[in-house]
Structure 1
Amino acid sequence: MALTLFAHPFSAYCQKALVALYENATPFEFRFVNLGEEADAAALAALWPFRKFPVLVDGAAMVPEASIIIEHLDRHHPGPVRFLPEDSDAAIEARLIDRVVDNYLMTPMQKVVLDAIRPPEARDGFGVDQARAVIGTAYAWLDARLAGRSWAAGEAFSLADCGAAPGLLYADWVAPIPERFAALRAYRARLLARPSYARALDEARPYRHLFPLGDPGRD
């Protein structure tokens, strides 16, 4: 069955799913979704009423949420790179870091970004400060966790790295990673150099003007 990914190239969560697809050269059709277009928004809502992308269609199966998409690919379309380790403890570690990236990098990063597009009188400065503090805590935790590791959960590229690539890209744009977190900064550089993410990042470049805080001029 052909796979179809409903997504936008600039979305961090869409990039997360794309990294997994590109890692194993999994054939799929990319269905570009512009939520500003009524037809695109309606097509996405028909699949997933929350109107969030990415959504993967695999034959009769509709698979939402980037982490779930990656686990679906790992189970039903496996390739040389396995995103969940067979060892159960190692799999828990990969899932833990995936949750930290989504909840404590991606979510507060989006809080800062979305606040920038609010009308000035509706902005939440206190909430933005809290979000930046959460990002800082995540940086410290990840830096310590990465000590002695090549990838997030160990020596093998995993689910955790698929999300950390765009997560750290955009988080660093919002709150630059301090130089004292050398392990985290080096890990971010390895992610940027990974061919699967380099491809997703190149595909997103035409849309960098959409970043509400302005294109930072760096990857």
Structure 2
Amino acid sequence: MSLELLFHPMSSFCQKALIALYENDTPFTPHMIDLGDPASRAELTDLWPIGKFPVLRDHTRARTVPESSIIIEYLAQHYPGKVELVPADADLARQVRMRDRFFDLYVNVPMQKIVTDRLRPEGMHDPYGVDEARKLLAIAYDMIESEIGTKVWIMGDGFSMADCAAAPALFYANKVLPIGKAHRKVAQYFDRLLARPSYARVLEEAEPYLPLFPK
């Protein structure tokens, strides 16, 4: 196949790219990376020395495309499908990108701060940083509650790149700061994301690895 995705099923940012691929039934070859295996890690760093996934390799165009949002933009441009994840309208596209950034920076990043702290050795924890991350997540939940209103998806009736970002971000955030009754609309939106066939498939594939999530 022309497209090859270097990824790990448990990674929230990899899940985001997978949702986009599954939404449009885009053919690709999955290439799972085990960061704990030096040889596997080298396969990733040879293409993207930063050493973070996902990374998309387009063998037809001889292109290496890192970063989940950029991968989705690339797919929308070169491998479009029935679901327009990035609108053609420039103003709508800007709004999608803003919401995509919101879920990445203000849901995913603070969630990862809390999770990473759980993996630190005794005596190396950062309680202040974790507390700040929890506060930021709570603010993000408040903003999503206000934003979603009666909409089906974060932009309205159409599923977009922003929803690709929201699904894994909220899935893992809910594990570190549960979406409670104060955020009823967020919870309902999250339920719709879980039921979306593309994300249901992603979670099914991630299931064997989810017990590794730090508690």
Do these two structures clear the TM 0.5 threshold for a shared fold by scoring above it?
yes
How big is the shift at 1:89? 2.0
2:73 — aligned with what? 71
Deviations 1:113-164 (A, max 9, x none): 0000101200001100000110001000111111121101121000000010
- Amino acid aligned to 2:54: P
2:6 — aligned with what? 6
Q: Find the aligned partners of 2:119 and 2:168 in 1 and give their Cα distance.
A: 21
2:162 — aligned with what? 160
Aligned pair count reads: 213
TM-score of the aligned structures, taking structure 2 as reference length: 0.97
2:84 — aligned with what? 82
Question: The residue matched to 1:63 in structure 2 has which SS?
Answer: strand
Question: The residue matched to 2:65 in structure 1 has which SS?
Answer: strand
2:25 — aligned with what? 25
Q: How does 1:1-219 map to 2 (within 5 A)?
A: 2-59=2-59, 60-213=62-215
- Amino acid aligned to 1:28: F
Answer with 90-99 or 184-193: which moved more: 90-99
Q: Find the aligned partners of 1:195 and 1:15 in 2 and give their Cα distance.
A: 13
Q: Find the aligned partners of 1:143 and 1:9 in 2 and give their Cα distance.
A: 28
Q: Percent identity?
A: 50
- Amino acid aligned to 2:141: Y
Question: The residue matched to 2:31 in structure 1 has which SS?
Answer: strand
1:216 — aligned with what? none
Deviations 1:160-206 (A, max 9, x none): 00010100000000100121211111000000000000000000000
- Amino acid aligned to 1:145: E
Which stretches of structure 1, 4 residues or longer, exceed 6 Å deviation after superposition? none
What 5-or-longer segments of structure 2 have no aligned partner? none
What 5-or-longer segments of structure 1 have no aligned partner? 214-219
Question: The residue matched to 2:105 in structure 1 has which SS?
Answer: helix
